[in-house]
Amino acid sequence: MNKKKLLLVLLPLLAVTLVSALVVNYLSNTATAVVEVKSPFEVGIAAGNQGTPSMPSLQTVSLTALYGGDTIRVTAGFHYLGNEPTINVIQKYTINNTGISCNDFESIKWTTCTGSCGSFGSEQTLDLATWCKDWGDYLIISYPNTYDVGEYNVDNFALKLKPAALGTYSFSAQIVPVE
């Protein structure tokens, strides 16, 4: 009789164990993938202006000391690494300084190289009234652009300061994809 009681206790326990193992195995049949999504753009910035366009690799630039009336020269570049055939973006350049305004600049000129060009185009003067926007301690110059796979854009900037435009200026480049 003890064998019968033992069998009555062990059989349900064995059944519960078997069902639990099957359920755990069923629920454990899960595959997982982890994907790191990076920006589709490489952004670079460098001191001075380039003669031959190449993607700048520096992210932070220290410029040599200048005086009011001098010209700040920087090069900024974007390289599209994404796989979509065409992407629309806003290229945005920000200049920071306490109390900065578009009136700090006598002129802003730039040359650009887009695509796979081997040289910069002719120098253009930015219409400050249209393209320069004051935001208190920083100003923004932005414009729309379109990139194809592998395309890059390199801009040389020459920011001519007025003689009374003193202070510490910082220049940054950013790209914002448009939905």
pLDDT digits (tens, 9 = 90+) for 117-157: 667 788 888 888 777 888 877 888 888 888 888 888 888 88
Separation CA 16–CA 96 (nearest Å): 69
Whether the Cβ atoms of residue 100 and residue 138 lie closer than 8 Å to each other: yes
Structure tokens at 6: 């033992």
Per-position DSSP letters for 6-63, written without gaps between them:
HHHHHHHHHHHHHHHHHHHHHHH-----------SEEEEEEES--SS------SS--P
Phi, psi of 101 (to 5 degrees): -150, 165
Quote the pLDDT of residue 163. 92
pLDDT digits (tens, 9 = 90+) for 11-61: 676 666 655 666 566 666 778 888 988 888 888 888 888 776 677 666 666
Structure tokens at 160: 């001519």
Q: Going by C-beta distance under 8 Å and a sequence separation of 6 or more, which residues neighbour residue 80? A: 40, 41, 87, 147, 148, 149, 150, 151, 152
User: At residue 1, does pLDDT exceed 60?
Assistant: no
Mean pLDDT to the nearest integer, 63-73 = 84
Place of tokens 């940054």: 172
Separation CA 144–CA 70 (nearest Å): 29
Quote the pLDDT of residue 54. 73
Quote the pLDDT of residue 18. 59
User: The whole model's pTM is what?
Assistant: 0.69
Side chain identity at 39, as an amino acid letter? S
User: At residue 112, does pLDDT exceed 80?
Assistant: yes
Q: Counting Cβ atoms within 10 Å, is residue 88 exposed (0-12), middle (13-18) or buried (19+)?
A: exposed
pLDDT digits (tens, 9 = 90+) for 76-90: 888 888 888 788 888
Quote the pLDDT of residue 49. 81
Whether the Cβ atoms of residue 174 and residue 89 lie closer than 8 Å to each other: no
Q: Can you give the length of the chain in residues?
A: 179
